[in-house]
Structure 1
């Protein structure tokens, strides 16, 4: 058998088709590895999300692409080998030797498996050669994670290639037609490709040829294979051996032992099927068990629950398990004499005592029921319950009420997997116990975020015992209480009540620490991830400055940091970073703990981003390094932004909202604290799609599949920096009220709720001076610290501190539609006084029925001046006048939540001297109205539509989600190709409230943009066409990245330019009349351009703009004006207009 295998191997080695298969397979895996390695090296310095997952953790993804190519190659090589045997008469040759059929079948299969498997070490060697560049100091290249690479090479690739080779060999021997065999084998591979993106993740490791496709590796938790993987590989090898036995039995050569081959092969196939069936049953049972937990939690979610006042616990971390002894002081115990607590089902309860006496209890489905003995409940309803338990918390028992089930989408297609999948981690060297895993028993089902939710705040006293040389992060400052030869003990006693407790421990941590204003700030990273800390030297200083800034800004406000210390600790990629409910907010922060993702700052590549800084002077270089580090920390949209976690400790973990609108007011308070501390953060797992890649457009399927496989989150970064405040969000925000459930509309709904909360917070922030804001925070903590508050409580508190601010808050919370503002040019008058001051006037009209608030901002010299926050009623106008010492250089109007999408920049007129002018300053009513400019139809008006070329109906966009559509047209995205007409925000476009354009790329002539109007009368009319400027202003301060196929460039954070415009072909129809118009927009400047004058016999007119052009086609706005002369007739057919309209 060995000699036959060696002979076949030598033959395969000499065949050119063998090396073609190996080369194609290696290229299939190596190309994305190189691309994403370079992309990560270039992008990750700008932010964790834009940098995506480091390719060193994606061995199973790019390796899976190699295996997929090899599977196709195996089909071709196996069919070629079988056909070669028939051509060369190998069966006749074997008749002369006493060899049964099993030997050549096994030998050929072994040779084919080994030959194709050689592509795997070739790929590994190529990645190592590429990674040597990093060892040589280059800015690109990285070594794959060793454990995952070893597991892929020997545990994944070899058994799967053996199985597939045996399966194809059986088909090739049993079926004489090569075409049928190839067709059937390729169909099976196509089914496998579909399964990767559609199969539930609990079945993927069992039934797929790529069982770990899409799995993220980890330096913190290296894993070669788990128990389920070993069982699956053993079953697969049994099937492979069985298939070869059946192939030997089906071979046309008679060897006299065909029956034995058939029986042996059948037994092995049956064993393999039974093994696979057992694994499937276990996986389905685990899924069913989780559904049972959900049903049990839903059944008791409305039951009354006591209030936790104090928790004293001792946690012992042992190899492979934890031991917990906890005592809970409970109040408001109901007369039913039964306590209901939520406790992880992976923990075994050994004993429960109430007021010192052992009691009966039942622990099932994650619910712990404790039966109170007679007399246990005192008159005050206070109970002291003690519990002892041991076990391993089940990571599946967490966030059972999440609106998006992470176990329902295929792992290969879900970007959400980069946010982690396990709610707790317990290994020999690392332990992460997050509150969502319910490792600490707490009252209630822990299910649902109903409007009447009541969050418990309790005093905690926690002792953690670990093996020697471990470090632990927990609530508040850590105190080392005892060190012995084999164990260490740490104690956590935060000074204020907390709503939750997280514990993270490891013996692989390396520590950096600093003390700021009595608060110990520590950084705990894996010892293999200290490169960036050592490279920057300023990371601890960043944390110091962050803490110091917060302390100074909030001095005297009541928002002093409440705990003795804070730990910024690294967590592995597998740890789930988002919670449950409708919001699914980040869980990477807890009292006294801020978690940093492994594939964020610890493994980011700053080499390229900082290469140009190395030649700067030392002081300038230090400032630039700090600035870049700060930006990186703020642009982590995975939920692990350090600044956001730090801010949560000031208020979010000290008081919460309850009742209707609780989630909204939590957002509002978070935004207020962000404004006070500076900066903000954004996270929602809805931006990480779990949709099926087969739902993408035909042309985008390949790129979508590759992005999903490689964990490419650059699109998420772009969605945040370019799309979080996109028009669709603004329009939805106008109808979102604080009493709605945040997140009930998915990503669009959450973005709209957050935008509403942020604009309301900004208006409230601007309505309150520094002293008022400090008083607000101090009173909120004093009245509601350690408990919850309602919307009425918050409104009354604001109104009591500053009545005008309370009125602004109430006005914005009542809004269910948006105001729309029109502004005059800013008039600047130099006053005739000794100080040489300037009077600045601006007229503002609200042209909608909904009221709103605005604030004027002037930049004059080195100072910035603000008006008060001004309320403007519906269909009303006001004049805001301010006296400033210098002539203003910039004027902006903050419109908060309005149809204007935030900030307006009115025209600033030159200053005029006005002797004797009254220096009136303040706000007064105004009769101002904008000057009529004619009959204008804008691309956002009802008279605009994009029609199909054939039937003239509106173009339907079923593939576009509501969040990516702007008034029936797809919104522009820098990471997606334009298909047909799209809508883009352009600051130089025409618009009543906001400036947008509709545009189409050249050569797309199947659709037309149509402007329809009804003129006041027939006669002679002038038609003007508006062309925007070429510059496109972006709203965000972060850079965005181009499409996958556009290369690795990073777009400017400040703006870009439109592509060159081409010749516009238009058709004007008025009744039965039709005029063909050709307009060369390539050299047209910004503004109105006269297309011509027309004698029209019909009042109903329509201008159709074709997308067929040699450049970009823009449909911004048209304008109809009555001609001064209504005599004669202008023949405009085939005319080429040009020049500015008068």
Structure 2
């Protein structure tokens, strides 16, 4: 193209820009992009600032940019779809046709002008965000601060221009080929819709080729900014060639004659299209090859999982880090053969490292390094029990893909609307010029055997060994890892205890440290992320002091002391993977000697912008904010999550059958002992959006902006269907490696067993148990039998319970008498005392436990736990608790039992004036109580119960249309549609059940939804019928007098009149009942003369209240009725 031709194209572009400036559509779409972009950016930033659980849009620029880009591409459609018609309407076409200008020059000028006109609002939006963000930052407003600059520059200067040029070419081609403007707009918008759909349907590993947006779906980082990859650059080049091809074909198809022949233009265009498509195809093949390589590693390592491997007893040597360039290792491994090794020794070593040499007992050894496996040929068989010394030298850059090879789901295999695993990081290691993270998962140090099943001790027993490494890092850098010693000649890492894995982090960290007892607490942050430390250190409260308090159990010299001299809390970039492998894929924040602190949590949170509570002093406010920062983090995972693993779970492991379950129980008990909540966050619990169930548009928006949540932050209990499934397996018998449901069953049962152990043993004895486990098995492994025997040795009463629940399936089932509350003589100080007592019977032949939780009535309000006791099978006990005032709420806690959840008990109103002269009962004593005969009862879980929901009238089918008894029914949660029957299992609702207490509920309707309780009456006669209700509302709670949200909730939860029909044979009799006057428990609805045989009480959804409840019906002969 000559200089003159370029000048003509520029002249056309300038003229087109003048025309676009006068078109209203230009300003409409520019205003939309600018306005919506600013609202989303700052609105989402406010939400992220106030919650501290979602990354602000400045770390999700690609997703945020796509939203603005869609608006501008739509603008291109309406700017360019009538170019030719506009020329003819404005009589420009005749002038252009008379000028000696070629079609390609004409269209190229317009192509550039249209793309530039669409790009300008985006550039303005970027400038406003950056400049406005500086002002927001200066004024400490809770809005958006400046965007991460590398991501912003990549999008505005590379991704967006390329996309706009492509779509400009597409629309210009359509205007040249199609005669009608409407057809152009429809086809172009359809193509835009297909492109948008493809963004959400394409796996993330292919998205760089398909989307044209660098790092779309991945969270950004300020520590290690995500830059443009070679694939990105090649893709942009291919897209520009594609756009040029489309433009060339458009010039040939244009109904305007020029000096060029149409055929030559079509040929040139076809050649350009072929080159572009071929290049894009090659890129697709390249990224697929990378995925296939990872799958090949997995297959090779899985094939060797059952092969015997040596036991590494000691690993020592040197590690040299040249950031961004090379990692060099020279290590010696002292190994022992637990069984005869006839031919070879196999070790895993990252395929990104090239092995220079391998020496066996000082002699050069024959070896091969392929598929991440170093295979060393033995000169002679290594007999069982024999020891050898292996030396390996290697260098290179670790490949982050060589980790967690047996993950049930791979983050980059998921589409944007699939499991958002990448929100917890997508790279298992980092070796950047500014930051190095070498996690054990990538096998950057030699690992005996295959690098597979590392999180499944039942398949691969962890290998604990001594470690002694000298590490070289650049001047001015700091490093973190277990057992760090700073010596004159450099860094040395020599942990005091044997470990199965060794992590190493290095960077230009800012360091704050504090020594408490014999443990040093250090905080290592990126230099640009010190604002919160400075903010929280303004007053007496110090950030490091608070971290020491949060991890105070490490400084305690108690029975389970922290094993290292230093705890390093290290900030890690957003892209570093922080979850494990297998089916569980649980969150990993703790590694030996290190607690990872996610970049998008405390380091980049804007706590100074939080709205201030006036009644707090400065120091109190800072304390409150620090507790929020510690207890909350990205995706609702607390910053201290997993920290207690360093006390024992990282020092020992179960092995063999049930090992995964035993390890989970050990981790949970360790956390309970340290008074820290064991936070479980498996991968399949992660959802896009700020809540587990959000409308599709909000889910799309949330995913693009990197917002997700774990379901544990929203649901207090596991779903009822899972509780039913868990009754089919023993704790150590469930296969948590086979399915997500298996994981859930293990977590469900393990959590309940841990709670039971905590209540029965108490913190002191749990500490003794953990100390004995560490003394015996620290630096080694144990079996489930060892676990049970050790706990029984510490507390012999636990033997029957823990032995049964670790291995057996059968569950206890508890029946409960009416609660008794009465006043007893005042205490020595004259304070009133109230006795709360209840008889509890374990009506099954297996052991269980039971205890009470009580909440005092106003003005006391406090909660109080009663003593938890063992309840042998087929045994009754009386439980008692003495309180200062009458209780407002009483719950029976049985944890792992057929009762499934907490059982809330109806509380009678005591007579405060009557003092019963009884000795106080705090604890339990034997009882001969048996449940009385109360007649014939049909519960919503019994075969005599059935229901029919109203017919579907909407677009979406109802979750449950009909059913009976204990069949599968959708579970009720607040917010689900009201027009069908749901099973309500909220344990705080006063419902009826022999063991498990549930009820059915349906929103008010027109009588088309019905439920029936059918009993087979043995004799004809007068029968009194009772209907069980939780109270005057579906939750049994009184209507609130507070905010509108609570009032709206109660309106949906309130009762009105019920539409009952009593059906006996062909006779149907209407029964009136006003549920607004209902009491918690059995409500008498009348006495009726009924025949022998089947009799049903039906209830419909017709009511003047908000909801209808179907819980249980009781029939009792009048002579027997109380």
TM-score normalized by the length of structure 1 = 0.86
Q: Please, which of 1072, 1093, 1101 is the counterpart of residue 1066 of structure 2? A: 1072
User: Residue in 1 aligned with 2:219?
Assistant: 216
Q: Hey, what's the Cα distance between the residues in 2 that align with 1:503 and 1:919?
A: 59
Cα shift at 1:74: 2.2
* 1:227 aligns to 2:230 (yes or no): yes
* 1:519 aligns to 2:527 (yes or no): no
Q: Hey, what's the Cα distance between the residues in 2 that align with 1:1007 and 1:628?
A: 49
Cα shift at 1:232: 0.8
Cα distance change of structure 1 residues 316 and 186 upon mapping to structure 2, 3 Å threshold:
same
Q: Hey, what's the Cα distance between the residues in 1 that align with 2:461 and 2:1036?
A: 41
User: Residue in 2 aligned with 1:346?
Assistant: 352
Matches within 5 A, 1:778-789: 778-789=771-782
Q: Which stretch shifts more, 859-868 or 802-811?
A: 859-868
CA contact (8 A) 1:996 1:1116 kept: no
Cα shift at 1:685: 3.2
Cα shift at 1:752: 3.1
Q: Hey, what's the Cα distance between the residues in 2 that align with 1:221 and 1:584?
A: 24
Q: Please, which of 256, 259, 273 is the counterpart of residue 256 of structure 1? A: 259
User: Residue in 2 aligned with 1:799?
Assistant: 792
Q: Please, which of 849, 854, 858 is the counterpart of residue 850 of structure 2? A: 854
Q: Please, which of 171, 182, 185 is the counterpart of residue 185 of structure 2? A: 182
Cα distance change of structure 1 residues 923 and 43 upon mapping to structure 2, 3 Å threshold:
closer
Q: Please, which of 12, 16, 33 is the counterpart of residue 24 of structure 2? A: 16
User: Residue in 2 aligned with 1:895?
Assistant: 894
Q: Deviations over 1:164-194 (max 9, x none)?
A: 1112211221232444443433332232222
Cα shift at 1:451: 2.2
Q: Please, which of 701, 722, 732 is the counterpart of residue 739 of structure 1? A: 732
Q: Hey, what's the Cα distance between the residues in 2 that align with 1:542 and 1:327?
A: 40
Q: Which stretch shifts more, 628-637 or 187-196?
A: 628-637
Q: Please, which of 167, 171, 176 is the counterpart of residue 173 of structure 1? A: 176
Greater relative contact order, per chain length (Cα 8 Å cut-off, separation 6+): 1
CA contact (8 A) 2:80 2:114 kept: yes
Q: Hey, what's the Cα distance between the residues in 2 that align with 1:527 and 1:1031?
A: 56
Q: Please, which of 161, 173, 177 is the counterpart of residue 158 of structure 1? A: 161
Cα distance change of structure 1 residues 868 and 116 upon mapping to structure 2, 3 Å threshold:
closer
Cα distance change of structure 1 residues 738 and 885 upon mapping to structure 2, 3 Å threshold:
closer
CA contact (8 A) 1:30 1:62 kept: no
Q: Deviations over 1:383-428 (max 9, x none)?
A: 2111111111111111111112223211354322201111111111
Q: Please, which of 327, 332, 336 is the counterpart of residue 332 of structure 2? A: 327
TM-score normalized by the length of structure 2 = 0.88
Cα shift at 1:692: 14
CA contact (8 A) 2:580 2:586 kept: yes
Cα distance change of structure 1 residues 1011 and 514 upon mapping to structure 2, 3 Å threshold:
same
* 1:302 aligns to 2:303 (yes or no): no
SS of equivalent to 1:323: strand
Matches within 5 A, 1:947-966: 947-950=948-951
CA contact (8 A) 1:947 1:1009 kept: yes
Q: Which stretch shifts more, 763-772 or 542-551?
A: 763-772
User: Residue in 2 aligned with 1:929?
Assistant: 930
Cα shift at 1:241: 1.3
User: Residue in 1 aligned with 2:769?
Assistant: 776
Q: Please, which of 5, 10, 14 is the counterpart of residue 6 of structure 1? A: 14
Matches within 5 A, 1:13-52: 13-44=21-52, 51-52=53-54
CA contact (8 A) 2:457 2:659 kept: no
CA contact (8 A) 1:363 1:369 kept: yes
Q: Hey, what's the Cα distance between the residues in 2 that align with 1:644 and 1:785?
A: 22
Cα shift at 1:829: 7.6
SS of equivalent to 1:395: coil
CA contact (8 A) 1:661 1:739 kept: yes
C-alpha RMSD over aligned residues = 3.8
**Alignment: residue pair count:** 1078
Q: Hey, what's the Cα distance between the residues in 2 that align with 1:918 and 1:639?
A: 47
User: Residue in 1 aligned with 2:753?
Assistant: 760
Q: Deviations over 1:302-343 (max 9, x none)?
A: 110000111113222213332222211111174323111111
Q: Which stretch shifts more, 158-167 or 817-826?
A: 817-826
Q: Deviations over 1:69-121 (max 9, x none)?
A: 32233223221223323444544322322111111111111111111122312
Cα shift at 1:1007: 3.9
User: Residue in 2 aligned with 1:600?
Assistant: 601
User: Residue in 2 aligned with 1:653?
Assistant: 650
Q: Deviations over 1:249-271 (max 9, x none)?
A: 12122212235533433333232
Q: Which stretch shifts more, 1073-1082 or 166-175?
A: 1073-1082
SS of equivalent to 1:407: helix
User: Residue in 1 aligned with 2:1040?
Assistant: none
* 1:469 aligns to 2:476 (yes or no): yes
User: Structure 1: which 5+ residue stretches go unaligned?
Assistant: 45-50, 483-488, 1036-1048, 1127-1140
Matches within 5 A, 1:469-508: 469-479=476-486, 481-482=488-489, 489-507=490-508
Cα distance change of structure 1 residues 858 and 1113 upon mapping to structure 2, 3 Å threshold:
closer
* 1:393 aligns to 2:398 (yes or no): yes
Q: Hey, what's the Cα distance between the residues in 2 that align with 1:665 and 1:373?
A: 40
* 1:569 aligns to 2:570 (yes or no): yes
Cα distance change of structure 1 residues 922 and 1059 upon mapping to structure 2, 3 Å threshold:
closer
Cα distance change of structure 1 residues 102 and 1106 upon mapping to structure 2, 3 Å threshold:
farther
Q: Please, which of 316, 319, 324 is the counterpart of residue 312 of structure 1? A: 316
Cα shift at 1:895: 1.4
Q: Which stretch shifts more, 79-88 or 765-774?
A: 765-774
CA contact (8 A) 1:348 1:391 kept: yes
Matches within 5 A, 1:362-511: 362-374=368-380, 377=382, 380-448=385-453, 449=456, 451-479=458-486, 481-482=488-489, 489-507=490-508, 509-511=509-511
Cα distance change of structure 1 residues 1104 and 887 upon mapping to structure 2, 3 Å threshold:
closer
Cα distance change of structure 1 residues 594 and 736 upon mapping to structure 2, 3 Å threshold:
farther
User: Residue in 2 aligned with 1:708?
Assistant: 703
User: Residue in 2 aligned with 1:1114?
Assistant: 1108
SS of equivalent to 2:472: strand
* 1:356 aligns to 2:341 (yes or no): no
CA contact (8 A) 1:516 1:547 kept: no
Cα distance change of structure 1 residues 29 and 637 upon mapping to structure 2, 3 Å threshold:
closer
CA contact (8 A) 1:1032 1:1057 kept: no
CA contact (8 A) 1:634 1:642 kept: yes
Cα distance change of structure 1 residues 1034 and 1119 upon mapping to structure 2, 3 Å threshold:
closer
Cα shift at 1:1105: 4.1
Q: Hey, what's the Cα distance between the residues in 1 that align with 2:109 and 2:826?
A: 103
SS of equivalent to 2:513: strand
SS of equivalent to 2:607: coil
Q: Hey, what's the Cα distance between the residues in 1 that align with 2:43 and 2:1027?
A: 44
Cα shift at 1:551: 4.0
Q: Deviations over 1:983-1010 (max 9, x none)?
A: 4416243222455443334568764444
Q: Which stretch shifts more, 424-433 or 791-800?
A: 791-800
SS of equivalent to 2:930: coil
CA contact (8 A) 1:586 1:639 kept: no
SS of equivalent to 2:600: coil
Q: Hey, what's the Cα distance between the residues in 2 that align with 1:257 and 1:863?
A: 88
Q: Hey, what's the Cα distance between the residues in 2 that align with 1:606 and 1:976?
A: 34
Q: Hey, what's the Cα distance between the residues in 1 that align with 2:486 and 2:174?
A: 67
Q: Hey, what's the Cα distance between the residues in 2 that align with 1:404 and 1:262?
A: 46
User: Residue in 2 aligned with 1:1134?
Assistant: none
Q: Hey, what's the Cα distance between the residues in 2 that align with 1:895 and 1:514?
A: 43
User: Residue in 2 aligned with 1:486?
Assistant: none
